[in-house]
């Protein structure tokens, strides 16, 4: 009996020791890898940048601000790699969601910014045409019948992030060129000398080491540059107010001498003109935008893109072009020899 009692006591006394050993054993808890946390930090920064961009463009970020706070809290409180990854996946989807809306807001903001600048400047700067006693706002090439319409078309057609990124890039180009146009309009430097606005554009678009054709809409002038050096300058006639020459940074897409231009519309249409032989044609933009000779004109330079009496007496010479850049035959010949495919064409 004494032996059995000792065994019993021995067995009972071993239970606390066994429990202590079990309690003292460390149980490993899953942790979040440093590299995964770095991903989370980077994604949070990215999300915040998109939110900031959207705010700067006047967009409503209320929902995204709430999502950012929730995602940050979820990442901070995650105790395992799987929980952290789940929170990270949610954050990634939120970033994907805001991108398109942020770009839409930015592109809309840029569109409105340019439209306001063009309107404000045009209201204060106009051309009084004594021929028809009409005041025409300057800078109309950037308005709704010109680049403003092109911008709207781009935004109407945009479907994805890449589309909006391209539209924004174009809008930023138009805004920059418009600023340079305003500078050129106030510059009293003769048209056949180097203009500071030309130099600014060549540097801005990294074209100081190549050939470039520069068309100044405010001067109705063209200047040819080769590695930043002025080679030649000509007076030109650009598009009329309802058919403006599109400002932008383009390039020579093709050249042909001679060729024949066809209006593509029937007689009676305001845009109709008879089949016209052209000696030197250089396309700088699709849809029929050319630099070419207009042998039917006599006068070029300021005011010739508005209604006027051309010394030729030809009714087709009494206003600006349909968007092309017109020169005399002799001058067009020199430009044709100067350019090659992909030569830059800056119109501002």
* 141 sits in which H/E element: none
Q: What is the DSSP string of 226-240?
A: ETTEEEEEEE-B-B-
* 289 sits in which H/E element: strand 289-293
- Six-digit token string for 101: 């809306």
Residues 69, 289: Cα–Cα separation, whole Å: 51
Peptide bond into 258 cis (omega under 30): yes
* 263 sits in which H/E element: none
Spatial neighbors of 105 by CB under 8 A, at least 6 apart, are 53, 54, 57, 58, 59
Q: Which of 233, 190, 219 is nearest to 338 (CA)?
A: 233
Q: Which of 147, 179, 106 is nearest to 250 (CA)?
A: 147
Residues 72, 153: Cα–Cα separation, whole Å: 39
DSSP 58: T
Q: Please name every residue paired with 292 in a beta bridge, in sequence order, or none if there are none.
A: 281, 326
Question: For this structure, is 324 an active site residue?
Answer: yes
SS3 113: helix
Residues 145, 70: Cα–Cα separation, whole Å: 46
Of the candidates 128, 195, 292, 308, the residue annotated as catalytic is 292
Q: Which residues are tagged catalytic?
A: 292, 324
């Amino acid at each position: 009996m004494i032996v059995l009692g000792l065994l019993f006591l021995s067995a009972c006394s071993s239970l606390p020791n066994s429990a202590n050993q079990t309690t003292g054993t460390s149980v490993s808890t899953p942790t979040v890898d440093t590299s995964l946390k770095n991903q989370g930090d980077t994604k949070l920064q990215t999300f915040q940048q998109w939110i900031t961009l959207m705010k700067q463009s006047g967009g409503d970020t209320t929902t995204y601000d709430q999502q950012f706070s929730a995602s940050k809290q979820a990442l901070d409180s995650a105790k395992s790699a799987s929980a952290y990854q789940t929170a990270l996946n949610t954050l990634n989807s939120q970033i994907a969601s805001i991108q398109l809306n942020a770009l839409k807001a930015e592109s809309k903001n840029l569109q409105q910014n340019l439209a306001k600048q063009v309107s404000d400047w045009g209201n204060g700067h106009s051309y009084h045409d004594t021929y028809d006693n009409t005041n025409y706002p300057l800078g109309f090439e950037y308005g709704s019948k010109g680049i403003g319409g092109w911008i709207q078309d781009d935004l109407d057609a945009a479907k994805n992030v890449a589309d909006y990124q391209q539209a924004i890039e174009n809008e930023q180009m138009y805004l920059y060129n418009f600023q340079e146009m305003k500078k050129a309009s106030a510059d009293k430097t003769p048209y056949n000398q180097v203009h500071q606005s030309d130099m600014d554009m060549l540097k801005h678009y990294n074209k100081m080491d190549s050939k470039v054709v520069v068309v100044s809409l405010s001067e109705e002038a063209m200047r040819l540059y080769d590695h930043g050096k002025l080679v030649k300058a000509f007076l030109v006639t650009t598009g009329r107010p309802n058919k403006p020459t599109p400002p932008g940074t383009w390039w020579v897409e093709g050249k042909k001498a001679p060729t024949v231009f066809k209006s593509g519309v029937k007689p009676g249409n305001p845009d109709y003109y008879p089949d016209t032989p052209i000696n030197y044609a250089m396309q700088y933009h699709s849809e029929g935008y050319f630099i070419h000779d207009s042998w039917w004109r006599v006068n070029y330079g300021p005011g010739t893109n508005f209604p006027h009496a051309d010394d030729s007496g030809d009714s087709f010479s009494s206003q600006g072009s349909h968007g092309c850049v017109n020169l005399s035959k002799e001058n067009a010949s020199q430009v044709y020899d100067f350019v090659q495919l992909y030569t830059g064409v800056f119109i501002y």
